[in-house]
Amino acid sequence: MNLPIDLRKSIRNYAYQHGFELCHFSRPKIKHVDRQALDAWVDHKMYADMAWMAEESRLERRKDPSTMMNHVQTVISLAMRHTPPPYSLEEAISSKRQGIIAAYAHGMDYHDIMKKRLKALARDLDLLLGQHEQRVYVDTAPVLEHALAAASGLAWQGKHSLSIHRQHGSWMMLGELFTSAKLSADQEATAHCGRCIACMDICPTKAIVAPYVVDANLCISYLTIEYKGVIAPKLRPLMGNHIYGCDDCQAICPWNQKAQTPDRDLLTPHGENILPELASLLHLNEQAFRQRFRKSPVKRTGRAALLRNVCIAMGNSGNTNFIPLLHSVLDDSEPLIRAHAIWALAILYQWQGMGNAPEVFRKTLLALKTKENNIEVLTEIEAVLSPK
């Protein structure tokens, strides 16, 4: 069915009522240049351990959204804004006591909220247009969300690869509603990065390897959220006090300096998660972790990986008050935490001017070595006892 243009106005109104600030329309097509760029990204293994990003069938669906649903005619791209970080980047990265959780994770998990809102919008569309085929997607589906957002005019893709809106900046999350109704498409977005490369310059790990291309292997967001293993020693010092995600490339972006705090933030930021005290996190046992982050996206990362990040942030802080705390997790049941606590202690002892491993720490490590059977923890012990 071909539908009149002003129906889009009604749909936008519904979208707004459901908590979406932006609602734009495009055909279910990905441009050749985006398909090629996706292939190149996969060929260069920039997806790191996120194997699903390279799975053949999912890759094909990413490149051709029309294969996601029979009879799809229109993709409705939607954005839900969230509150920007309520602190400056300098203030956050210079703290010696606190860790940084990315702004989108200061409140509730957007996946849950956005899915509910998209389904409610789909019900409205059935009432408006008559019962028809629809599907909703948020984040995890094989949908190239940035490319569709750009095609629909919702936002352009910045050099940090994120979607930016002229007025709202990039502090927003994306979702899509695929429908069999043929609604007129909006005009493609125009880009406004110009000659700026501030995001590429500020990135602590130089993960934006070329304009529009992020190598996940290097990105702190990937390392702290998605990656569950031992973090490469050379990357640890670059992670600073980022303990969940990273907003540096967005915080520096000139388009975000003009962005207003949204009137309503359905993710409702929670004070506890805004620059949390590192010390308050290191002693969370499994139950306390689940309780503390039960509504937050942080729960998806799990206790072991979060506390691994906390250990790294403590090591990077130069705050030697953390030494006793780190000693107390050397017998944690999670090898990941033990391994990174050893690294952090070695760094903090250096800050104290006690060389690589002062005598008391050496004795502790020698004792640990006799009972440790995890190879990764043993590697960390060796790196301190016999540095190369």
Residue numbers annotated as active site? 139
- Residue 11 interaction partner, one of ligand B12, ligand SF4, none, beta carbon < 5-8 Å per kind: none
320, 354 contact by CB (below 8 A): no
Query: What residues numbered 241-270 form the site for ligand SF4, per CB under 6 A?
Result: 246, 248-249, 252-255
Tokens at 265, concatenated = 């933030």
CB of 25 to ligand B12, least distance (A): 18
Residue 191's identity, in one-letter code, is A
Binding segment for ligand SF4 (CB under 6 A), chosen from 87-95, 112-120, 205-213, 365-373, is 205-213
Binding segment for ligand B12 (CB under 6 A), chosen from 68-76, 177-185, 221-229, 376-384, is 221-229
CA–CA separation, 234 and 224 (whole Å): 15
In Å, how far are 99, 102, 302 from 307, measured between CA atoms? 11, 16, 9
- Residue 196 interaction partner, one of ligand SF4, ligand B12, none, beta carbon < 5-8 Å per kind: ligand SF4
Under the criterion CB under 6 A, does residue 34 sit at the interface with ligand B12? yes
Q: Among all chains, which residue has been given the structure tokens 């930016």?
A: 164
- In terms of CB distance, is 200 or 341 closer to ligand SF4? 200
39, 165 contact by CB (below 8 A): no
**Under DSSP, is residue 26 helix (H, G, I), strand (E, B) or coil?**
strand
Q: How many CB atoms lie within 10 A of CB 176?
A: 26
- Residue 163 interaction partner, one of ligand SF4, ligand B12, none, beta carbon < 5-8 Å per kind: ligand B12
Query: What residues numbered 87-146 form the site for ligand SF4, per CB under 6 A?
Result: none
CB of 124 to ligand B12, least distance (A): 21
Burial 325-349 (b: 16+ CB within 10 A, else e): bbeebbebebbbbbbbbbbbbbbbb
Q: Among all chains, which residue has been given the structure tokens 């979060």?
A: 306
Q: Which of 170, 217, 296, 309 binds ligand B12 (CB under 6 A)?
A: 170
Query: What residues numbered 57-116 form the site for ligand B12, per CB under 6 A?
Result: 102, 104
CA–CA separation, 188 and 148 (whole Å): 9
Identify which of 169, 171, 178 has the alpha carbon closest to the alpha carbon of residue 142: 178
Q: Which of 24, 63, 159, 236 binds ligand SF4 (CB under 6 A)?
A: 159
How many residues in the shown chain lie near ligand SF4 by CB under 6 A? 24
Under the criterion CB under 6 A, does residue 207 sit at the interface with ligand SF4? yes
CA–CA separation, 118 and 268 (whole Å): 18
Binding segment for ligand B12 (CB under 6 A), chosen from 128-136, 138-146, 251-259, 362-370, is 138-146
CB of 179 to ligand B12, least distance (A): 18
37, 195 contact by CB (below 8 A): no
Under the criterion CB under 6 A, does residue 160 sit at the interface with ligand SF4? yes
Measured at the CA of 330, the angle between CA 325 and CA 335, to 5 degrees, comes to 130
In Å, how far are 70, 137, 182, 185, 190 from 128, measured between CA atoms? 21, 21, 13, 18, 31
Binding segment for ligand B12 (CB under 6 A), chosen from 70-78, 208-216, 295-303, 375-383, is 208-216
Q: Would you give the DSSP letter of residue 48?
A: T
Query: What does the binding site for ligand B12 look like in residue numbers (CB under 6 A)?
Result: 34, 37-38, 41, 50, 53, 102, 104, 138-139, 143-147, 157, 160-163, 170, 172-174, 191, 212-214, 216, 219, 221-222, 226, 245-247, 249
Query: What does the binding site for ligand SF4 look like in residue numbers (CB under 6 A)?
Result: 158-160, 193, 196-199, 203-205, 207-208, 214, 219-221, 246, 248-249, 252-255
